[in-house]
Amino acid sequence: MAIKNYKFWFVVGSQELYGPEVLRTVEARSREMAEELSKVLPYPLEYKVTAKSNSQISDIVKEANYDDSCAGIITWCHTFSPSKMWINGLANLQKPYCHFATQYNEAIPNEEIDMDFMNLNQAAHGDREHGFIAARMRMPRKVVAGYWKDEKAHKRIADWMKAAVGVAVSKEMKVMRFGDNMREVAVTEGDKVETQLKLGWQVNTWATGDLVKEMNAVTEAEIDALMAEYTASYDIATENTAAIRYQAKEEIAIKKMMDREGCMAFSNTFQDLYGMEQLPGLASQHLMAQGYGYGGEGDWKVAAMTAIMKAMGENGNGASAFMEDYTYHLVEGSEYSLGAHMLEVCPSLAGTKPRIETHHLGIGMNEKDPARLVFEGKEGDAIVASLIDMGGRMRLIVQDIVCVKPIMPMPNLPVARVMWRAMPDLATGVECWITAGGAHHTVLSYDVTASQMRDWAKMMDIEFVHITKDTTPEKLEEELFLKDLAWKLK
């Protein structure tokens, strides 16, 4: 799936007062910094302007708003830049905004430093004036401070850039729904109009019959080509080739329909497979591996979040996947959650080579045994994220987890599985998650961090709740109560 070639713009603040020589130096250094930073950041940083007036700033903001490839602006003040001249521009800014409080020189040069040096190198002074106006305007922004060649600063800007790409992807998100939500389920519901207003998502429905029609038009040659891809990526552990070919047909048809509409995510439900022999299992899994988002039981919110978090990850398609909390291992001293889904777990989580298997699926209207990928999830620090509709507003809940190699082989479990320990511990973690209203569906990510999700939520202007190793149910209850009041006033 093609992710746009996003870029970020470097906008440097100054003023005319310093005269042409100083301004030439500022521009040359800013260009150099943008070029050097582009080599170490995940997206290019383009030097745009050394802004010296209200109109220059307003103009560059208008251009940034208009340019679809611009995923955000990074500002810095090499010199002092009186910030009343930033007001009109910033008031119109519709792109993510990061203020990089840095300095061209690393050390104060003992012999060289004089008043001229101080006038040229006064970011310590200029960045405070610049920070004030954004605070005064209550602008959502990321502040990163540090030397511009320091890896710690690079990491923070890189993380923010990926979150900003998540904003760009969110604003263009289109979700294709096959069938409605699973009957009677509450947490997968939500206000699609409010969501579109806030997050930009276009969530619409297509008939299962349209998909079946598309499937009937898939050729044997198309299926052969996809079968070759399956064989190259996965171990075939079934004799039932017809079931795999049927999944290939489903995948090709879903992909064609999504690509035709520009959709990056889809949902379906086992309650509406009318005209289909199998719930898409392998089909959904292999689509997720390509970066598409998916949500089971009509869960369009988790479908879109999966696509967004995948796009925020490494190379625009990181290890993030649709997940469901299934069952617990409550034995004292080794408490774990077991996550899986009926079929649809993305192979980006796999710690072992996925096997294609076919098994009977009792739930839903499967006429034939669906093919699916079976594997164990890998070890490592991860997060689970759940977006819920609180009525009039959205809440994003993120919990830190530690994934382990599943502690038992579970040879009769016919689906991919991931095992993890929730923070701060299983019981407290579950108490906190349930207190906050987190869903049974989540996006599990080894790639995107809680801090990136915090940045994303801030930029999207939605509530963010983070359950960490230090969270207690008491502190969380108080936090939720205060946030509820604050969001009602907002």
Q: Of the ranges 239-247, 321-329, 384-392, 405-413, which one interacts with Mn ion (CB under 5 A)?
A: 321-329
- Asked if 339 touches Mn ion (CB under 5 A), the answer is no
Nearer to Mn ion, 324 or 455 (CB): 324
Shortest Cβ 361–Mn ion spacing (Å): 13
Q: Of the ranges 41-49, 268-276, 289-297, 449-457, which one interacts with Mn ion (CB under 5 A)?
A: 289-297
DSSP 56-87: HHHHHHHHHHH-TTEEEEEEEESS---GGGGH
Handedness of CA 383, 344, 372, 284 (dihedral sign): negative
Residues 57-86 that bind Mn ion (CB under 5 A): none
- Asked if 251 touches Mn ion (CB under 5 A), the answer is no
Would you mind telling me the total number of residues written for the chain in this entry? 490
DSSP 184-196: T-STT---HHHHH
Shortest Cβ 340–Mn ion spacing (Å): 10
Distance (Å, whole) CA 102 – CA 301: 38
Q: Of the ranges 166-174, 216-224, 288-296, 456-464, which one interacts with Mn ion (CB under 5 A)?
A: 288-296
Handedness of CA 296, 299, 302, 304 (dihedral sign): positive
Shortest Cβ 394–Mn ion spacing (Å): 20
Strands (E), 229-335: 235-236, 265-267, 293-295, 320-329
Nearer to Mn ion, 79 or 268 (CB): 268
3-state DSSP assignment of residue 384: strand
- Asked if 13 touches Mn ion (CB under 5 A), the answer is no
Shortest Cβ 205–Mn ion spacing (Å): 19
3-state DSSP assignment of residue 100: strand
- Asked if 126 touches Mn ion (CB under 5 A), the answer is no
Nearer to Mn ion, 190 or 296 (CB): 296
Shortest Cβ 217–Mn ion spacing (Å): 30
C-alpha distances out from residue 317 to 22, 123, 288, 448, Å: 43, 36, 9, 11
Strands (E), 38-170: 45-51, 70-77, 97-101, 142-145
Number of residues that bind Mn ion (CB under 5 A): 3
Q: Of the ranges 101-109, 197-205, 291-299, 416-424, which one interacts with Mn ion (CB under 5 A)?
A: 291-299
Nearer to Mn ion, 296 or 429 (CB): 296
Distance (Å, whole) CA 353 – CA 293: 21
- Asked if 455 touches Mn ion (CB under 5 A), the answer is no
Shortest Cβ 359–Mn ion spacing (Å): 17
Nearer to Mn ion, 163 or 305 (CB): 305
DSSP 378: P
- Asked if 324 touches Mn ion (CB under 5 A), the answer is yes
Shortest Cβ 77–Mn ion spacing (Å): 49
Nearer to Mn ion, 133 or 185 (CB): 185
Nearer to Mn ion, 127 or 324 (CB): 324
Q: Of the ranges 13-21, 294-302, 393-401, 477-485, which one interacts with Mn ion (CB under 5 A)?
A: 294-302
The candidate with the shortest Cα–Cα distance to 189, out of 272, 301, 294, is 301
Shortest Cβ 337–Mn ion spacing (Å): 14
Distance (Å, whole) CA 113 – CA 155: 31
- Asked if 325 touches Mn ion (CB under 5 A), the answer is no
Please pick, from the candidates 190, 296, 370, 406, the single residue that binds Mn ion as defined by CB under 5 A: 296
Contact call for residues 74 and 115 (beta carbons, < 8 A): no
- Asked if 166 touches Mn ion (CB under 5 A), the answer is no
Nearer to Mn ion, 126 or 281 (CB): 281
Shortest Cβ 284–Mn ion spacing (Å): 12
Instruction: Give the CB-nearest residue to Mn ion.
Output: 296
Distance (Å, whole) CA 335 – CA 345: 22
Distance (Å, whole) CA 444 – CA 348: 11
Distance (Å, whole) CA 445 – CA 449: 8
Which residues in this chain contact Mn ion in the complex, by CB under 5 A?
A: 296-297, 324
